[in-house]
Structure 1
Amino acid sequence: MIKNMTTSCLVAMVSLITVFSLPNAFAYKVQPMVAEMSPVGKKAQLNLRIENNDSESLTVEMIPLQLVINNSGKIEYIPAEDDLLIIPVTAILKPGHSQAVMVRYLGEPDIAESKAYSVGFRQIPITMEGDNISQVKMGVNFNTLINVVPTNTKANLLVKELKLIDGEWKITINNSGNRYVRLSETQWQVSDGANSLQLNKEQLSELLNGNLFLPNSSRTLTMKPIESFSMDKIEIKIEIMK
């Protein structure tokens, strides 16, 4: 039986989710939060929309970023002004109003593998005056996810290593393909000769602390052990469903 993951795994997964999603409780929202683009042609451009849900006007800046993930899963954002054009770069929205934001890929048109980018939304803090008291209203900042994907690209996931460390599985997975993939788009077949189990995306989300894999990269994830499976003989095959 699959048990609940540890608290540390849960915190890590929530952190990754908040990078690519925006709760409705925030002062503004953006759609879509996750998108794909092509390096050339009509699909090299897309429109995002910001909606002000607050009772006050707000000002938001948009920043082009490239997304990099190291082998331990840490996400880094690098300025990408040469690769992404954003119009406008600043939006002022009245309560209940929305603003279209154009994003255009300007990078190399003949890329051999997909690239991950982000539009960083940065709400500019404002100073509020009233009753002889001055206070700063802090803004909400978050990042979208945009993958620029050339045609005829494919992801290929393979488990390279599996270790038991401090009661948890450390599983190293390699994406030797030239396309990004999310583990939520996969299913796993786990076997040790005596036992066999198929894990769907819902089960994987409970067991793993990572999701996005960039092309030609490896990542080591923390996984909650599956009871009754022998570490000495275990074999995991990953099938990409999308």
Structure 2
Amino acid sequence: MQTSFGSSTRPIPADQRSLRRWCVAVNGEQQTDVLYLVLDHPSFGTLTYGLTAGGHDGWTFHERGGGGSVILPFCRSQGELIVGLVEQERPLQGKRVLNAPRGFLECAEGHAVAAARELMEEMGFDAAALALTRLPGAPANPNSTFFETLGPGEGVHFFALEIPETLLTEDRGHRTFVASVIATDQGARRSRLAEQIGAAVFIPWYEAAMLGDMFTNAAVARLLAAQRDADPVR
């Protein structure tokens, strides 16, 4: 039985079947004797059911590369700290939401490279001319009941990019990028269409901190920590 999927979860010993509390169904049929189950996707990671490191049955998820990247563009506009988010369809939240650009790592990709790529794919903005900053703090575990971040550096990494105010404009009550700095080629449009991404907007940090997206909330908190020695934010 192959168990080398990068997960600490192992098959439940046959003599410990009584540990099973989760029900496994395949094609609508409940399987009564599942001791180990793996769902693996080369682009996302591995979901494993079995005996967890905590000593009970359960499922764990080990993300490709140990965790992805989140990037938060920001600007100090007229003394106010504003952060850049994208409007995106999130079917599992049942609606369109605002969230910070983020994503999984691609093969052999570093976290900073992934952050810049996600910014281009989701906002159409090329970060190459500006200084991408790694936000302070340890890589984050999205949900430590189920997500595995056991290896060095595993977890979600957070980055920020300061945007000059000259690159922003007012549109329908929000700040957004001026049209001249946004990629409009077919590849860029195809990427945003595939991920059902709409407008990019800059909103006050305190509004972003209260959105129903924990990656965005965490990114704002880390940005505030990084800005603690700067002028007071409002």
Same fold flag (TM > 0.5)? no
TM-score interval for Structure 1 and Structure 2 normalised by the shorter chain: under 0.3
Structure-1-length-normalised TM-score: 0.21
Structure-2-length-normalised TM-score: 0.21
Q: Which has the higher strand share?
A: 1
Q: Which has the higher helix share?
A: 2
